Amino acid sequence: MRKIKFIVIAGSSGGHILPAVKYINNLSDIKKANEILFITNEIGKDYLCQIENNNVNKLIINSKNRYKFIFKIFTKISLLFVFNRKITILGFGGFITTPVIVISKLFNFFFLSSNKIFIHEQNIIYGLANKINYYFAKNSFISFPKVDMRRKEIFVGNFFLNTNKSKEILDSKFINILLIGGSAGSIDLNNKLFEELINLEKKYLEKMKFFIQIPTSHIDILKKKYTDLINNIRCELFTFKNNLNFKEYDFIISRSGSGSINEVLYYTNNVHFIPHLASRDQHQNLNLNYFLSRNMSLKDFLIPTKKNNNNGLYFNSIINPYSIEKIICYTTR
């Protein structure tokens, strides 16, 4: 830990953590993995298995009590900043990024350190933590294009998972329907789907195959509801799937978090997005409005009753699958 050159921080949700993991995996290909430290909280712990190099250092601190978290962060990383005077810090969002960034800035000011601070914002507006972090950062990497960019902002597009990973192949005889709810779960999306399925005639249901994400906390309840509703109908329930192939689906129901929107819309626009409206700043609704205003997703929740035979090339010029590589160019030069 005395030879750390890169600190990556992310917590609170998969929308923050997944681009951080992607950045770490790409960074460890060109830099020594044992000189990289990933700081996360109890939510990020579930994503550690996706870090490909085992030599990457990891620091997991429970953030449920914010005051205890700040104290632990200060005690655990202060010595690290004493022994390492030139660290590149990149915060991907979530409350836990701010204490680390502030401490780093204090060391720059009082101890003449040369730490470089960057942040990444994946939504169309800054979250609360990044609104604060912006004032301490050298640059802010943003995912949505703007007409009037602020002085520190660099447009990189949204992050993208590995395009070379193996993907599922579905049976083209069926109308394949996917429901994904993101890391926050999908209870209300499942309820919405129930409402639609109740009104569908059995002759249409028999042509369909459903792939439905269910939150771990509600597996038994939702499994029974689907069994009672569409008994003997083809239905695959899952909590996480690493090989989703969005091109294979005739209709997708999804959250409108920035990561979900961009990855789905890179492959297809046969998707109806439903924003998670419980968020403080309504960022999912704002993300969605950006794409709806450009006719890049389906406006209506309408389950198709026949196979989508559109074999034409779908191309979305706004999505950048190399956004993380672009960030690495800035943070390593």
Between 27-31, 132-136, 170-174, 329-333, the lowest mean confidence (pLDDT) is in 170-174
Instruction: Supply 149's token pair.
Output: 């960019």
**Ordered alpha helix ranges (H), 186-250:** 187-198, 202-205, 219-229
Q: Supply the DSSP symbol for 140.
A: E
DSSP conformation class of 45: G
Query: 182: pLDDT confidence band, cut at 50, 70 and 90?
Result: low
Single-letter code of the amino acid located at 58: K
Domains and CATH numbers, the chain: 6-157+321-332 (3.40.50.2000), 175-292 (3.40.50.2000)
- Comparison of pLDDT for 121 and 240, the residue scoring more: 121
Q: What is the mean pLDDT of residues 259-288?
A: 80
CA 284/CA 282 separation, integer angstroms: 6
pTM as predicted: 0.84
Q: Provide the pLDDT for residue 231.
A: 64
**Residue 163 pLDDT level (bands cut at 50, 70, 90):** low
Among the listed ranges 22-31, 154-163, 175-184, 273-282, which one has the minimum average pLDDT value? 273-282
Highest mean pLDDT, choosing among 58-62, 189-193, 216-220 = 58-62
pLDDT of residue 181: 79
Q: What is the mean pLDDT of residues 4-17?
A: 90
Mean pLDDT along residues 294-299: 82
Q: What are the C-alpha distances in Å from 173 to residues 56, 142, 161, 235?
A: 45, 41, 28, 15
Number of Cβ within 10 Å of residue 11's Cβ equals: 26
Torsion of CA 141, 144, 145, 148, to 10 degrees: -70
Within 10 angstroms of residue 308's Cβ, the number of other Cβ atoms is 13
Residue of 155, 96, 105, 82 lying closest to 129 (CA atoms): 96
pLDDT at res. 288? 84
Distance of CA 237 to the CA centre of its chain: 21
Please, which residues bridge with residue 234 across strands?
209
Reported as a single tens digit per residue, the pLDDT across 72-127 is 888 888 888 988 889 999 999 889 999 999 999 999 998 888 999 999 998 888 98
In this predicted structure, the answer to whether residue 268 has a pLDDT above a threshold of 90 is no
User: Amino acid identity of 291?
Assistant: F
Tokens of 255: 């959250």
Task: Specify the pLDDT at position 51.
Answer: 94
Residue 115: its pLDDT value, please?
95
Q: How much is the mean pLDDT over the chain?
A: 86
| Cβ contacts of 210 within 8 Å, gap of 6 or more | 177, 179, 226, 230, 233, 234, 235, 236
